[in-house]
Structure 1
């Protein structure tokens, strides 16, 4: 049962990310000139929906590993309820990257897709963190319940499905339609307009006015065309793989220092994978 629960973690990410994506899209529709506001609200909603449990795990893991003490002391530090300087710095760092990267995506018209892809990709770290070769650092707790419960082949299949879903989400980005702008002084300049399709540039027939005072027309004699951003599609799939890689590295570090995973380590993997995925999307959008 524990292995199945970890296998369904990306589905939970899809549900939580879907709500956060709706918030980002809604704010973008109401205030398109405020991508930072959309990004902040999207990140806050995603954090609130998870109860900030993963952030707490990140802080505890950062405090424990950051202490550079012996294994038992690190585990004891991680179990304490207070948060030290490493924990505070780690939370601040990931949230800043989350907001900055999501703002960049929102400015490019890829905001809700980005938070949805990143939310799913970050939860994909859970089945990889619980694969059969990864032991628990403690005999009790969440880590002991889920450690070594997911076969690597199952994690790989889930990853492939997630990559395909991420690419599909990227395809849902608002299309950009190529055309021409007939300016008020009679000149013509190339431009890209959103949401205009099937427009023919034969004279002014089928033209559309623009907010800049000009008239948008399609390329003469041909229908307006929609560009597909190949780099954006590649970035969507790459974001998933980067998230998995970050999760694997977190678990590798935990195994070396603690001898295995704990519930806090799982939370740290999720929270570090989220900004990694968003950053990947921001750099490829």
Structure 2
């Protein structure tokens, strides 16, 4: 579990943690299960930014933008990079090998830029609505944790890796199906008493995050033949946006 915690924190955050001494499928699977816990430093950072903005009397959109930027900085922009590469891959070609080459190239095409812009606008706008409604801190904490929780879907057994190497190959199929189901159910249950939200809104935000991530994952698997690290990052950012939208209502 120590190696799993190191892998989760080292992959999902910019915290300077030692590298895992051992890396196998069991360690990778436990790391993905720990993703919501590893997201807590990111959530705490975003909450502090939102509360600080409220204390300083900043406009809701400014506070929201700073919070989204803080999460991106604290995670090294890893998931945003995955979102951009996945968008380019999906837009590149129906040829699987060509799409995977485009994703690995590192360049960002029009599809990547438009997708990044729209998803970030959606995140900032939704969070600004939650801030204006008085529950911005709760909304961003819930969205950040739920967004990282969806990683168990992409790493569930039965979801293949699109490549023989890379992060996707390391974590693909590492989470048992019962545990992959238990994570969203547990997060939805924990979200019931979310302060400032009706009892149903927190669980609905979690379920929306997993639904959007599942739809994107299914599309990526059908196009690429499996999951990659970029696809996992795209699922995280899309799920975070979905949770923020529901939490902003």
TM-score range, shorter chain: 0.7 to 0.9
1:199-278 mapped onto 2 (5 Å cutoff): 232-278=198-244
Counterpart CA distance in 1 for 2:70 and 2:170 is 28
Shift of 1:69: 3.2
Output the CA distance in 1 between the equivalents of 2:214 and 2:73: 25
Instruction: Tell me whether 1:6 sits opposite 2:6 in the alignment.
Output: no
The alignment of Structure 1 onto Structure 2 pairs a total of residues equal to: 223
Cα distance per residue 1:194-222 (max 9 Å; x no partner): xxxxxxxxxxxxxxxxxxxxxxxxxxxxx
Residue number among 85, 96, 110 corresponding to 1:71 in the alignment = 96
1:105 to 2:105 alignment: no
Equivalent residue for 1:28?
54
Give 5+ residue unaligned stretches, structure 1: 174-228
CA distance in 2, matches of 1:128, 1:248: 7
- Say whether residues 1:91 and 2:57 are aligned partners: no
**Structure 1 residue 151, shift from structure 2 partner:** 1.0
Superposed, 1:157-168 pairs within 5 Å as 157-168=182-193
CA shift for structure 1 position 90? 0.7
2:155 to 108, 130, 134: 130
Alignment partner of 1:167: what SS?
Answer: coil
Deviation at 1:6, TM superposition (A): 0.5
Q: CA deviation at 1:15?
A: 2.1
Residues 1:19 and 2:45 are matched in the alignment: yes
1:77 Cα offset (Å): 0.2
Cα deviations across residues 10-44 of structure 1 (Å, max 9, x unaligned)?
1122221111111101211221x621121111111
Distance in 2 of aligned mates of 1:233 and 1:100: 23
The two structures have a TM-score, normalised by structure 1, of 0.76
Q: Measure how far apart 1:124 and its partner are.
A: 1.1
Distance 1:30 1:156 in 2: 41
Which moves more between the two structures, 133-142 or 7-16?
Answer: 7-16
- Cα distance in 1 for residues equivalent to 2:150 and 2:93: 25
Q: CA deviation digits over 1:48-81, x for unaligned, max 9? A: 1111110000000000111133000000000001
The residue matched to 2:199 in structure 1 has which SS? Answer: helix
User: How far did 1:167 drift?
Assistant: 2.5
Please state which structure has a larger fraction of its residues in strand.
1
2:63 is equivalent to residue 38 of structure 1: yes
Q: Check whether the contact 2:94–2:223 (CA below 8 A) recurs between aligned residues.
A: no
CA-atom RMSD, angstroms? 1.1
